[in-house]
Amino acid sequence: MRTTAILLGLAVTTALSVPQVQARPAKAAAVASYPAAEAQVLDLAKRLIALRSVRGDNNETGKALAVVKEALVAGGWQAGDIEIVPVDDTAYLIATWQGSDPSLKPLVISGHMDVVEADPKDWTRDPFTPVVEDGILYGRGASDMKFDAALATSSLIEMRRQGYKPKRTIVLQFSGDEETTMKTGRIIADRLKNAELVINIDGGGGTLDEATAKPLYWTWQGAEKAYVDYQVEVTNPGGHSSAPRPVNAIVQIAQALEKIGAYRFKAELNPVTKAYFVSAAQFETDPKLAAAMRAFAANPADEAALATLRANPAYVGKVGTTCVPTMIHGGHAQNALPQRVTANINCRVFPGHTREEIRSELARVAGGEVTITDVSGGDTTMSPASPMRADFVGAVEKAMKRVYPGVPVFPSQSSGATDSMWYRALGVPSYAASATFSKDSEDFAHGLNERVRLSNIRPGLNYYSILFSELSK
């Protein structure tokens, strides 16, 4: 993801009532064994991690996509049904498995092949040398999201090996710059805007108990906050530092940033986030935090609950729009008054608001001495939540029940941006539904020593196979 996604769950219901999710211990899953596919997942994941698919010079995203194409062709796809399209320094892939009924809109499986940069000096192991230790795969992209890419690809190949014939066409696509400009994701979505629905394997997923490592619950993402950047600017004539003026651009912007940093947007709930707080509170081990989650769900204006949630980094992004200063530039000489100072404000906008609405609110907070401009350009868009489609909900519940019986399942909203936003903006329902489980303490996506548990392989193959077949039959 462009940022680490923070999950906000929603209990599945056709009404807007919020059912209680009962925490039940998972039974041992009776999942099928697919030795060839299981071996392929690890091999593919390691080969993909070894390729430095990072924006800029020597970007190897195209090579990583070629590895996927090679595996698909070996698995029965025609080379002509797989496109790898170069775009700037990166590329994207679209692979088509033709269904038997051309009148049906296709099922799209979406992911990305690029990763964020990693400095080997900071890592315990080289980030682009995959290493397996104690059942854990380490390397940049292990959790975001080359392992899931390998898992989904191998699942499709195994489905074909088992003789499955889809009625609905299945399209597998990987973008090449989801972590940066998101340009290829927009291109792909526009090309595939006739899709019936999209399964985004970049997001969602399961949580393991910190003490026992047993599955605790699993969520899928049905919505996400929008990523927006604004530039704050102050300009004046400047002058010699020996003759200070009544106004100073650095001081002016500092005062504006202090106001913005202290500002809290109105706390909000929607059916998605309301149900999350009710459901997830049952799994929160901190009684004070759990009580705050329940209180906020009951009354989003509860100041005591808000204070508790906003003080916790894991929850501050879940209660509404957030904006934070991230960069500042200014001055041209040590002995001169600055003539121009700028700062970047990064916002994660709660669904239902426009970019202009948030810009205007920031301008009001900062005061009239600064100019605030939306500088996000075409790198982001506002998108609505996807509907609670019965076919999708039924398919994920069937797949998870088969693989992880007894594990609670509820939908989610992400605080980070994914390629799903491009599809949703075009009216195509998109749902993030990764197969992998991890502990919260093991979430190192975008961070040091990124990792994923190999215990996800067998159940993940079963889960994806069931999900993809249910939605394409």
pLDDT of residue 271: 79
DSSP state of 259: H
What the block records as the tokens of 230 is 């604004």
Write the pLDDT tens digit of every residue in 132-169. 999 999 999 999 999 999 999 999 999 999 999 999 99
Q: What is the pLDDT of residues 396-449, one digit of tens each?
A: 999 999 999 999 998 888 887 899 999 999 999 999 999 999 988 877 677 788
Does a structural domain hold residue 2? no
Note whether 33 and 121 are same-domain residues.
yes
Q: Do 213 and 254 share a structural domain?
A: no
What is the rounded (10 degree) CA torsion for 314, 183, 197, 353? 50
pLDDT reading at 200 higher than 70: yes
Q: Which of 338, 353, 378 is the last residue of a domain?
A: 378
CB atoms within 10 A of CB 328: 14
Same domain, 214 and 344: no
Asked if 330 and 451 sit in the same domain, the reply is no
What's residue 21's pLDDT?
54
Which of 363, 378, 393 is the last residue before a domain boundary? 378
Judgement on whether residues 203 and 251 belong to the same structural domain of the protein: no
If asked whether residues 361 and 448 sit together in one domain, one would say no
Q: Phi and psi dihedrals of 174, rounded to 5?
A: -125, 120
Other residues' Cβ atoms within 10 Å of the Cβ of residue 86: 13
Looking at the 3D structure of the chain, how many domains does it have? Answer: 2
Asked whether residue 60 is assigned to any structural domain, the reply reads: yes
Asked, for residue 405, whether it belongs to a domain, the answer is: yes
Check which CATH number belongs to the domain holding 412 and give it: 3.40.630.10
Q: Is residue 363 assigned to a domain?
A: yes
List Cβ neighbours of 347 (8 Å cut-off, separation of 6 or more): 227, 228, 229, 230, 321, 322, 323, 324, 358, 362
- For the cut 60, the answer to whether the pLDDT of residue 66 exceeds it is yes
Q: What are the tokens at 313?
A: 């980094």
Residue 428: inside a domain: yes
The reported pLDDT for the residue numbered 280 is 86
Among 313, 348, 378, give the residue marking a domain's end.
378
- 362, 387: one domain: no
Residue 1 counted as domain residue: no
- For residue 97, give its domain range: 7-225+381-472
Q: Is the pLDDT of residue 231 over 50?
A: yes
- Asked whether residue 23 carries a pLDDT value surpassing 70, the answer given is no
Instruction: Tell me whether residue 245 is in a domain.
Output: yes
Reply yes or no on whether the pLDDT at 24 is more than 60: no
pLDDT surpasses 80 at 258: yes
Beta 215-224 vs 205-208: how paired, if at all? antiparallel
Q: How confident is the model at residue 1 (pLDDT cuts 50, 70, 90)?
A: low
Residues 6+ apart with CB under 8 A from 188: 92, 94, 110, 173, 175, 419, 422
The pair of three-digit structure tokens given for residue 454, joined into one six-digit string: 């190999």
Asked whether residue 193 falls in the same domain as residue 242, the answer is no
pLDDT at residue 3, rounded to an integer: 45
Which pTM does this prediction carry?
Answer: 0.86
Q: Are residues 27 and 71 in the same domain?
A: yes
Residue 235 and residue 348 share a domain: yes
Q: Which two structure tokens, joined as six digits, stand for 183?
A: 């340009």
* pLDDT score of 314: 83
| pLDDT of 207 higher than 50 | yes
| CATH number of the domain where residue 288 is located | 3.30.70.360
Which among 217, 177, 220 has a CA at the least distance from the CA of 85? 177
Collapsed DSSP state (helix, strand, coil) of residue 404: coil
Picking from 189, 87, 140, 82, the residue whose alpha carbon sits closest to that of residue 430 is 189
Residues 234 and 269 in one domain: yes
Same domain, 155 and 60: yes
| Residue 409 within a domain | yes
